[in-house]
Every structure is written in C-alpha cells, then in structure tokens.
Amino acid sequence: MFQDAEAVLRTLLSDDRATLLFWKNSDGWKVLNYGCPNIDKSSYEQDGLFGMSDYISDKDKELYLSFLDELRSLLKVNSHAVQTNKNRYELIFRVQEMTGNEVCYSFDVSVHKDGDGWADSMLVKISELSPEDLYRYNLSKVITNDKNPAMFNIGAQELFKRNPDKEYALVQFDIAKFKIINQQYGEAFGDELLEYIINTLKNQCTDEQLFVRLTADVFMIMTPYEEKEDLIRLVDRIREKLLGYKGVNYRLVFGINSIKDKTKPLRDFGDGAAFARQSIKNDALKYLAFYEDDMSVNVRNAKWIEDRMEDALAEKQFVMYLQPKFCISTGEVVGAEALVRWINPERGIIPPMEFIPLFEKNGFVIKLDYYIWEEACKKLCEWKENGKRLVPISVNMSRKHMKDEGYLQVLNELVDRYDIERRYLEIEITETFDDDTVIKGVELLKGEGFILLMDDFGSGYSSLNTLKDTFFDILKIDRGFLHDFVGSMRGQRIVEHTIHMSKDIGLDVIAEGVETEEQLRFLEGCGCDVAQGFYYARPMPVDEFDRLY
C-alpha cells in the first residue's frame, strides 16, 4: 500500500486538474516523487473490467486491478471503468464530501508499454466531471422508460439545439430471451452482461450520440446520420462489440426509426423503433428492422388499445360471445366455445386479432381470461338455475398463466362460487410443444378434474409428439390444418389417420373452422364426432345463443 497515498489524492483532488505518474523499476510500481512501496497485487473483480480481457494481458490486468483496488480503498466508493482504446482507460468515482455534497471525478489512465508489450508506466489524469459529462454518466447508470424519459429528452433537445441541421434516428435493441439467460447462467451474470453493455456503449457513443437504458435489457441510442447505411454500420459495430461476452451465445435484436419531426415527443419515434424491433423478435435470421411508415397505423392502434384496456375491462366493454359446437351425426348442440369481443363506444366491435396478440405480450390477457372465465361460469349457473340443459363451455387459457399456479386457485374458486361441475367448464390450451411449464400446468388442471382441450392441433411442428403421454381429453383440429390437407388425396389420408389415431388412444376430436358441406361429410366419414365453424354458426352474443339453441 502507498504510505502517503491519501495525502497524494487529497492534493490531486484539490486541484482542477492533476496528474499521477506511476512507474515501474526493479522494486515494482511506484508513484513518481512520493517514494511509496509497491502496489498491493490483490485484484478486485467488480471494478468494470468488462470487455477489456480481449485487449490487455493477464499481467497488465493484474496491475490494473491492483491500481483500482488501491484507489477504491482510499476513496471507499464504487467505481466504474471503460476502456477507450487498447492503452487507455477511464474510471468514474463518486466522492462524498464532508458537507454532504457528492462530486464525481474522472480518472483517465494511460498505460505505456515497453518493447515486449508489458506496461512500464501509467499516467493518471484526475479531473472533476463537467456538468455534461456528469449528465452522461448519470444517464448511463439510470433505468428509465419510454413513458417518463425525462433525462433522455433533455439531452436530446440539447443535441437538437447544437446541431439543428442534422438528421437523427433512434436505434433500440434488446437481448432476445434475456430471461432464459438469467435462468441458465444466473442473475449475477445477467447483471454483469448489462453492465458490460453500458460500459461498451459509453465507449462507443460519441459526443453527438446519446444512449439510455429503457428497461432491464432494452437500450436505445439517439444518433445523427446522413444515410441509411450509416445506421447499419453503427448497428454492426455495436453487435461486434457486444456479442459473445464471456463466450456466451445470445442474440441482439435492433429496431431503427428516424426522427422526422424534432418538435414531436421522442416517445412517438421510440414506439416506432420498438415496433420494428419486436417485428423480428421471432425471426432468428434477422437482427435489424427499420420502422416503415405503414407501421404507424399499427403503432397508434397499439397505443390506443393499451391506453384504454383497463377502463374497458372495468366498464365491461369486453363481451363474451359463444360459438356452438355440433354433433355431426345428429346436428345437436353439444357445447360452446367462449370467445371475446371488445365493443367500444368509439369504434364499435373490435376484432380479437387487433387486441389479443398485444394483450399476450403485455400480460393483460391474464385479467381478460379471468373475466371471461367468470362470465362462462355465470352463464352455466344461469342455465342450471333456470332448469335448462347444460352443455359445456370451453374457455381459452393463455400460456401466460403457467408462470405460477394462481390460475388454478381462480378456476377452483369460480366453479365453487357458482356451483358448477368442473366437467362443464372446459379448458382450451394451445398444443404444448416441449414446454415443461405448460405440461406441468396441464397436469395440475387434469388433477383438479377439468376437461382439457388441445387447441390448434396441427398448427405447429410437434403435434404428434404432444399426443404421447398427454393429459388432454379432446383434440381440436386446427382450421388451417383442415383446409390445407383436404384439398389432396394424400392430405385427406393424413387427416383421416390423425382422427383414427387420436380416437384409438382415447381422445375425442373436434374439427374447427368447418365452412362447407364437403368438409363436413369428409370429417363424418373419418369418424370425427363434433365440429364448429361458419357452416353451422358464427360466434354470437349469449342472448342469441340462448334463443337459438
């Protein structure tokens, strides 16, 4: 340890700008003019060396870590460091003064190497951060969000004022399936990866660029550009620096949107960048998408929906419709599927495809499912109290429910409250693929006595595999599967054998999307018992269902 290093730093921190020169001789590292003993060689692993291992040798790293450890022990504060080039590093230290004020200092470390490539001296320049540098440092450490990006907006407006003639764009990116990385490698590694990204962006972004961390793993850069290729080159450079940290494979997904009107809120353009990013989330062959003008309708519509969804649920704008299921041989109604329509005072009936996918993404589908489940139980209870013939109502269950077992408690409370036998509230779940969480959820539902329907069978690639040891009771053949296969003799044989195989292993079969007499007769010949589709009836309000069936 330095015998009088504290006095050295007090002197340095009292000046507007000061310099420390470390040099190495046969006795080890020393501070010029102070005659201090060797630096302690113990390393400190949390001082922001992320990204440096590819540039400095193990010996240099040990010396650098020791140097950081010495500064940390003196200042007793957290530090943050990035590498600006192969021989230069920048550290940021927060210092708490006796008055209680917090001051940030920058330590600019330049390493000089000898002819063999080993460090023989380090020049350290220490200065208090300027207000702009302090702002950028704070911004790099903060987690903001696109609904309250105060710091980012202030910085953006400053850049616009300084560069009124330049065009700017927002580049937004995230780590695909970041939750899986946390699960596989641990949350500590996930935090380390995020810190690595922050440090790298601080290094890569110039004074004319601004970056911010929007949420846990979503980052955004505002950058000037002249042509589209400039933005592509920026993305490629960022990917080159960020991918493969510590040998771990992960995917970065980028969305870009140009700022076409600097007087409008940045959130509008950030939404566009997010939409472009999300549009390729499930395409493993793409990592970059530009926001296009024709996407604006979708973005505005998504915002309109999210702004109104809570009020719509409270005001019962979501309405349960029922689509009847028919026995093919007798034409009798043997059940119904509960579907949802949004009847909005401004827009009228909003089709499910306009809001269900969005609710799946933002999690609101859980609240909506609970609401429809209760509406179905109310209707079953009404039929029972009025002495009407009960037919099962099947309700859809999103995979979002499978993250915890709260859905099971909700279902049990509903059937008990409305005194409904569980066999009359059927549960439809999309085919399970190899998702262990969904498989466990299905097993729990089966154990509680619910009838389970495998929805959209044939829409995926693991359909036959899902039949092995399945807990489902009924198979629902997907509309697309039916339409695509009945057009050829080979396709018809596939449908026919699928139905026969399902019945042989004890599964009942329902065909969805039946639209023609020809399809109906084909299914009847294959041994399919139940069908639903426009041939029989479209989804309808419950009052109409009661009147007709």
The pLDDT value given to residue 262: 87
Q: How many residues does the chain have?
A: 549
Dihedral in degrees, nearest 10, Cα atoms 11, 16, 21, 22: 60
CATH fold for the domain made of 364-537: TIM Barrel (3.20.20)
| Other CB atoms within 10 Å distance of the CB of residue 409 | 10
Residue that has been written with the tokens 């771990």 in this structure: 248
The pLDDT value given to residue 383: 96
**What sign results for the dihedral spanned by CA atoms 490, 495, 496, 500?**
positive
- List b or e across 127-165, with b for residues whose CB sees 16 or more CB atoms inside 10 angstroms: bebeeeebbbbebbeeebebeebebbeebbeebeeeeee
Taking the C-alpha atoms of residue 453 and residue 474, their distance in angstroms, rounded to an integer, is 5
Q: Where residue 1 falls among pLDDT bands split at 50, 70, 90?
A: very low
CATH assignment of 133-291, among 3.40.50.720, 3.30.70.270, 3.40.50.970, 3.40.50.2300: 3.30.70.270
pLDDT digits 0-9 by tens, 261-286: 888 888 878 888 888 888 887 777 88
- List b or e across 241-262, with b for residues whose CB sees 16 or more CB atoms inside 10 angstroms: bbeebeeeebebbbbbbbbeeb
Q: Residues 517, 328: contact at Cβ < 8 Å?
A: no
Taking the C-alpha atoms of residue 113 and residue 221, their distance in angstroms, rounded to an integer, is 34
Taking the C-alpha atoms of residue 95 and residue 77, their distance in angstroms, rounded to an integer, is 7
Q: Looking at the whole model, is its pTM more than 0.85?
A: no
Strand-pairing partners, residue 145, are: none
The pLDDT value given to residue 340: 96
pLDDT digits 0-9 by tens, 295-310: 656 667 788 898 899 9
pLDDT digits 0-9 by tens, 438-451: 778 888 898 999 99
Quick check: helix, strand or coil at residue 453?
strand
Quick check: helix, strand or coil at residue 222?
strand
The share of the chain scoring above pLDDT 70, in percent, equals 68
Tokens of 428: 């439809």
Taking the C-alpha atoms of residue 511 and residue 483, their distance in angstroms, rounded to an integer, is 11
Taking the C-alpha atoms of residue 179 and residue 399, their distance in angstroms, rounded to an integer, is 16
Taking the C-alpha atoms of residue 342 and residue 358, their distance in angstroms, rounded to an integer, is 14
Taking the C-alpha atoms of residue 472 and residue 251, their distance in angstroms, rounded to an integer, is 35
Query: What single-letter amino acid sits at 470?
Result: T
**Domain spans in the chain, listed from the N-terminal domain onward:** 5-129, 133-291, 364-537
Quick check: helix, strand or coil at residue 32?
coil
Residue that has been written with the tokens 């504060």 in this structure: 77
DSSP structural state of residue 97: -
pLDDT digits 0-9 by tens, 377-423: 999 999 999 999 999 999 999 878 877 778 999 999 999 999 999 99
**Closest by CA position to 48, among listed 100, 103, 5, 91:** 91
Give the strand order in the sheet containing 288-290. 210-213, 218-225, 167-175, 252-258, 288-290
Query: What single-letter amino acid sits at 185?
Result: Y
pLDDT digits 0-9 by tens, 186-221: 888 888 888 888 888 887 888 888 888 887 788 999
**Is residue 351 scored above 50 in pLDDT?**
yes
Tokens of 497: 């054998």
In angstroms and rounded to an integer, the radius of gyration of the C-alpha atoms of the chain is 32
Q: Residues 541, 321: contact at Cβ < 8 Å?
A: yes
User: Residue 354: which region, alpha, beta or left (left: phi > 0; alpha: psi -120 to 50)?
Assistant: alpha
Lowest mean pLDDT segment, chosen from 75-79, 363-367, 427-431, 544-548? 75-79
The residue among 137 and 231 whose pLDDT is bigger is 231
Beta-carbon contacts of 223 under 8 Å, excluding residues fewer than 6 positions away, are 168, 169, 171, 205, 208, 209, 210, 231, 234
Q: Cα dist. 242→50, 197, 204, 209, 314 in Å? A: 11, 7, 11, 18, 44
- Burial zone of 543 (CB within 10 Å; 0-12 exposed, 13-18 middle, 19+ buried): exposed
**What sign results for the dihedral spanned by CA atoms 340, 542, 517, 328?**
positive
The pLDDT value given to residue 348: 92
Tokens of 171: 């580049």
Distance of CA 20 to the CA centre of its chain: 45
**Is residue 20 scored above 90 in pLDDT?**
no
